[in-house]
Amino acid sequence: MLSLKGKKILILGGNALAIDIVKAAQELGLYTIVTDWNTPDQSPAKYVADEYWMNSLSDIDTLTDKIVKNNINGIITGFTDSYLPYYARLCQSTGLPCYATEAVFEKTLDKAQFKAMCAQHNVPIVPEYELSTFDPNTISKHHKVIIKPVDNSGSRGIVICDKPDEWEEKLAYSKSFSNKGHVIIEQYMDCDDVSFEYKIQDGEVILSAICDRYIYKTATFGSVTKELIYPSRYTETYLQDVNKRVLNMFNSMHLQNGVLFMQAFVDNGQFRFYEMGYRLSGGRHYIFTENQNNSNAAKELCHFAITGSMADYSIAHRSNPLFHNLCCQLSILCKAETIIDSIIGLEDVRALPQVIDLTTYYQEGQTIGKIGTTSQIFARIHIVAESMEGLDNVIRSVKKILIVKNRKGENLIIDISYNQ
């Protein structure tokens, strides 16, 4: 890549995942500034950045003035859907590169608009019900529905309903997480789950990763990813049967640059899409795409922020979703809303030769987040193995070594069966 040393990049939002963006930018030689309205304890990326501001992302006028006065060269945001409109507005007000317009972001942010776009291009979606005509008396243990706010992410506000008498309460709960006050009602799917990463460079849409997504399901409050395994067992089928339709859909949107992810269920061999984000995924696919193909979307978005170009190389030439090795992102989930007293074994896990990255999101004394959301994840561990047997051996080692205790000395890590 071209030398970016000394250029200034403003990172919108400082949550734990944003630390990856800070580090990616710093590896490129950029001077990093993180801004949001939270304290550094609440936005830990501020501790890692070269500088931080205490400005709300919605205060466009103040931020515009500071960007100009401080000679900021580029703006980026990462993992939070609600930040994307502010990102677009700030880029517009300062004339700095933005990989999409606010109108395009809106199409991808709203789950209802996304599913309508899929239907237009014969991209299969999860069956849903019209809220105005849906009869909650049809709900049962054998006919569950899932209620989702149309404009939230990270599993926030998603609930499962399997009892008619809980319908009103759960509907109101899910609506409370939507800025628009709107929800969608979908058929509850109990089948395989797959995640995809696409990159866009100068109008070319490129499939860069496909993984099988294994889920920890709560009884009521949605689900959390416990494991991603690359490449997906469905990769060849997807490339043959579905990828062309998805590419046609993206091309109809006239996307020029950026990164996006999609998620789908595989129902009796049929892909059914339910989620899209025109941003970096919390799945952190870039850890493995860099390891396997020398292409990192976090770095490429930083490069775009400064230069208006994703990279000075062809991303397509560095993209092979089949990968060279078996790769696994392992999420360590802890019991929700509990206080961490002690953490044992982190460095021993990090020293395992198959572990290429270990990132924790909590420290001793902090409280694990709410059940059924990504804030229930204590750590993510990225593993590269030669075989499924080798991967299973690493997972068993992690489960023996890593312990997160509460004040009673109880292990808070949820005992999860992986690869299923």
pLDDT in tens, the chain (420 residues): 567 999 999 999 999 999 999 999 999 999 999 999 999 999 999 999 999 999 999 999 999 999 999 999 999 998 999 999 999 999 999 999 999 999 999 888 887 888 889 999 999 999 888 888 899 899 988 889 999 887 766 667 888 898 999 999 999 999 998 888 888 898 988 899 999 999 999 999 999 999 999 988 775 666 788 999 999 999 999 999 999 999 999 999 999 999 999 999 999 889 999 989 999 998 999 999 999 999 999 999 999 999 999 999 999 999 999 999 999 999 999 999 999 999 999 999 999 999 999 999 999 999 998 888 888 999 999 999 999 999 999 999 999 999 999 999 999 999 766 665
CA atoms within 13 A on the CB side of 417: 1
Q: What topology does CATH give the domain 8-98? A: Rossmann fold (3.40.50)
CA neighbor of 252 nearest in space, from 123, 84, 124, 121: 121
What's the rounded Cα separation, in Å, for the pair 339 and 105?
37
Nearest to 106 by CA among 151, 60, 168: 151
Map tokens 């799917």 to a residue.
189
Q: Which CATH superfamily is domain 127-187 in?
A: ATP-grasp fold, A domain (3.30.1490.20)
Residue 2 pLDDT: 65
Domain covering 101-121+190-324 assigned CATH 3.40.50.300 in the classification: no
Please give the model's pTM, rounded to 2 decimal places.
Answer: 0.90
pLDDT reported for residue 295: 98
Overall CATH class of domain 325-420: alpha beta
CA–CA dist 315, 208 (Å, integer):
9
CA separation for the pair 72, 64 (Å, rounded): 10
Treating both helix axes as pointing N-terminal to C-terminal, what angle do 102-109 and 111-120 enclose, rounded to 10 degrees? Answer: 90
Same fold: 101-121+190-324 with 325-420: yes
CA–chain centroid gap for 341, Å, is 28
Domain boundaries, the chain: 8-98, 101-121+190-324, 127-187, 325-420
pLDDT at 220: 60
Reported as type and span, the H/E element at residue 3 is: none
Distance of CA 333 to the CA centre of its chain: 16
Compute the distance between CA of residue 13 and CA of residue 55 in angstroms, rounded to an integer: 10
- The pLDDT, as a whole number, for residue 222 is 62
Distance CA 265, CA 247 (A): 18
Question: Taking Cα atoms as reference points, which of 372, 395, 330 lies closest to residue 158?
Answer: 372
